[in-house]
Amino acid sequence: MDWKAAVSFVPFTLFVGTAIGLSFGGAIDINLLVGVGISAILVGTFLTKEKGTYWETVFEFMGSKTAMTATLLWLIVGVYGSILKEGHIVDGLVWAAHQFDINATWFTLVVFLFSGLFAISTGSGFGTISAMSLTLFPAGIALGADPALLGGAILSGAALGDSIAPVSDTAVIAATTQEYTDGKGSADIGGTVKKRLPLVLTALAVALIAYGMANGNDTTPSQGLSNSSSTHPQSLALLIPTLVVILLSFRKVNIFVSLALGLAIAVGIGLAFDLFTLSSLINMTGGKVEGAIVEGIGGMANICILLMVVVSLSGLIIRSGGMDGIINSLNNHVIRSPRSAELTIFSLVSVAGILMAAVNTIANICVAPFVNSIGKQHELHPYRRTTLLATVICTFPFVLPYGGCVLLLLKGIEASGVHITMQATDVFFTAFYPWALLVCSLITCFINHKQK
């Protein structure tokens, strides 16, 4: 490896090393990581001899179609998710559980399904964990359900939505970063979601069976649920725009068109059912613009900047030839066939998820270029690569004790006021869906590896 290629690894390694350190220390912060990424780029400029070319590469990849597509999608998804939350969709789910008079035996199963529905609707794993730990978790405890199973069910639902929702950041990154070998753009989100649906449904079935078997024989009635008068049953209508987005995506309608229609339907339903007002979506008070739309954009802004920074860091490795050097080494010593290429991708994504478990989005962004390079060299279809990337990345971050999802769950439980003590290790084996998804993803590496 020449000096130029070696230098290109320094900024990326600096960033990844810091992200791993923060992850293990439980001190992950997106804004801090943006600062670290920019600092890493600045360090690289002092090491390179061709400073003009170095910065041209940084700007080229920062403004690349991959970065810009994902950024615009995230901003739109942020607004979409914020509008659904403003429409009290969680309250609607709680109301539905109350109406069916669910007892503790099946409540954990319902928590898993409702968490999954919320995550599929909003595309936010973290948002799901926050909302459900404050609402459904206390209700489950009041019913006498097992705390570890409840926590695992919330994490499983969040992972379910993250792994299959066309509006999730996982779907956006996984699809937009995997390019066709003929140079005709990247994979479409709808097609990739549809292609991995059988795998996700298999893992879902396994998780449902596991939660059904783990629930025991409690028959306590559901007096612990929120009183139906304090909930919003009409907010269940907000599941309609999500269904529309999913169906249009499956029909390969442009994701921006699908989201635009979904947004319009969501706003129409919210106003028609008096779930929110226009002023709650956007308003100006004292010269300051506020509302759900502003919050949705603001919530995604920092992760969008981080994406552009990390794409630039990986671009330096690609342009210097360093990426080719790594892949050639793997080809010479590890990869012998399409199957071994997929197993290598599975391993790389798993390691990224373990080392950067604080935020699976960061792990996804960092490992995606390597997946793309390996896949293109071995002529793996972008759908195939996207399936492995989008599923495996939704496993370890949702179960590891130092993972951001688990830590967020514990904070939510603490804030809910429930008088129980839970440890981060309590949900390691009760988050059934991520484990089922990991096994199913590994199995898929051994079957249909020539899929086009």
For residue 143, the model assigns a pLDDT of 74
Q: How far is CA 64 from the centre of its chain?
A: 22
Report the b/e string of 197-221 with b at 16+ CB within 10 A.
eebbebbbebbbebbeebbeeeeee
Report, as an integer, the average pLDDT of 200-226.
Answer: 73
For residue 78, the model assigns a pLDDT of 79
Distances in Å between the Cα of 176 and the Cα atoms of 37, 328, 338, 362 are: 21, 24, 22, 15
Nearby residues of 236 by Cβ (< 8 Å), 6 or more positions away:
89, 92, 93, 95, 96
For residue 221, the model assigns a pLDDT of 45
State the pLDDT confidence band at 418, using cuts at 50, 70 and 90.
Answer: confident
Residues 135-182: tens digit of each pLDDT: 788 878 877 889 999 999 999 999 999 999 888 888 888 998 899 987
- Alpha-carbon span 91 to 111, nearest angstrom: 13
Residues 320-339: tens digit of each pLDDT: 877 777 778 887 788 888 88
Q: Phi and psi (nearest 5°) for 206?
A: -60, -45
For residue 226, the model assigns a pLDDT of 46
Predicted TM-score of the model (pTM): 0.77
- Alpha-carbon span 291 to 283, nearest angstrom: 6
For residue 87, the model assigns a pLDDT of 86
For residue 267, the model assigns a pLDDT of 93
For residue 42, the model assigns a pLDDT of 94
Report, as an integer, the average pLDDT of 73-77.
Answer: 79
- Alpha-carbon span 363 to 357, nearest angstrom: 7
For residue 2, the model assigns a pLDDT of 64
